A and B are shown apart, each in its own frame.
Chain A
Amino acid sequence: MSEFAVEVRGLRKAYGPVVAVGGIDLAVRRGEVFALIGPNGAGKTTTLEILEGHRRADAGNVRVLDEDPAQNAVSLKRRIGIVLQSTSIQPYLTVEETIEQFRGYYPAPRLLDELIDIVGLEASRKTLVRRLSGGQQRRLDVAMGLAGDPELLFLDEPTTGFDPAARRGAWEMIRNLKALGKTVLLTTHYMDEAQALADTVSIIRDGLIVAEGTPDELRAGEAETVISFRFAGALADLPPAIATAGSLENGRAVLRTTDPTTDLHELTGWAKQRGEALEGLSVTPASLEDVYLGLAGDVAE
């Protein structure tokens, strides 16, 4: 058994003249949460659908749980769970009936009560699918994907369109899946989502992987720390290091620096001398968002 739940080498897929995936490698370790992040049209869904067996690759070597998904084998379908990009559930069954229906498709399904508990739909067990909110339908979608107690779960943009509270709920759910020992391969637009959930992040753009690593590794590549504070004066009033390298943004003085210790020392010395309060002072490491925008940002969403 390979240590990887998913192994992809040189995967290519074109639709006519349009290259959706231009030759990518992926390696998803068993038990990890792996996030494939990129803008719309970057090739995320195409990649996922090839791994799920919904599409055929033009070229490349694809292994999912040591099987070739292109074979469309029942043995593989029993071991994976799929949550597609758009939620698609029969509207006239209840939550319970829908999960029961999908449990019936698998030889060793997870218990109904456990599934309802994992996705937090206890209060809506007897509700018709059509009466659920969008977020609730999405959670039911995940329960359907988990019905067969899969080793590997594909989640295509699980939280797109969620309000912030619903997203936090979904994140909690995905963390629970990891705690259950599942491998999760998800796609997302949101860097904070990848940062919050993923052990490994792969940034895809125009069908190519442009960066990959743990969230910390990716951040380390972008070594800058951002120092900022509220400031109403002119740039020239600031200490020399900030006046030359910094900028004023929305009433804040902002400095991106690779040497935060020295710059902070100079800044606080200057502030103490002048009696400046440095209101709203913040010192933050480069976020994954900055890395992401640097790599994928010039692509129009």
Chain B
Amino acid sequence: MIDIRDLDVVFGHGKQAFHAVRQVSLAVEAGQSFGLVGESGSGKTTVLRALAGLLDRVATVSGVMTVADETLQEQRSKSFRRRVQMVFQDPYGSLHPRHTVDTIMSEPARVHRLDRIEERVVSALEEVGLDASFRFRYPHQISGGQRQRVSVARALITDPDIVLLDEPTSALDVSVQAEVLNLLMRLKREHGLTYVLVSHNLAVVAHMCETLSVMQNGEIVETMSVQQLREHSSTMPYTQQLLTASLGYDRAAIDAFEEFGQ
């Protein structure tokens, strides 16, 4: 479904150039959930934004990206824009504060000249567990979890095949996170969606995905199945350290931490 070959992303030019992503290749099959894991600055979000075509004016992107047999051009096709949707990290920053939920959700439908917009908005809201009365509220009138549901509903409006999820629950309380993760799993089953999930939380990725890549300093360190992650059978010391760290505070283990990269 998604195939990325030798992706490089460089921000800036000359002396100021910053090589954010180096030689990243990955493949995601249809109906799969693929996780990208790493610490801040590892380039995981940049890979996602490069795929979505959000970097073309701010960075030099090279490499070959193919989505469902379509080789992506710098100017993405309209069908790509419809088939690939994104959910962002911060539900406070990614919904227009002066637009109602109805306006926010019908905009992608209008852009793609879809019919029965009102019907689509109501049914997408229903799918994410919000009733039709939410249509006429503003983002500040609803909770963080409800906002993230609206973001998911907005992504569903164009009936996409692929949803790119950039830390979709890291701004939420754990009880709300569980609800949103369950929602995402159900939608994936019902619509046969393909997910690419970026997260720093290994447990969330283990819960959602079948395969994951661990990134560090712009490169993929290791790609493995979630089963391998669970069995701690990773071969790379960086991944093992990340795993140890995500299990909680262990004074003795911390002294053994190494500095990686640079």
Chains A and B belong together in one complex: no
Chain A contact residues, CB within 8 Å of chain B:
none
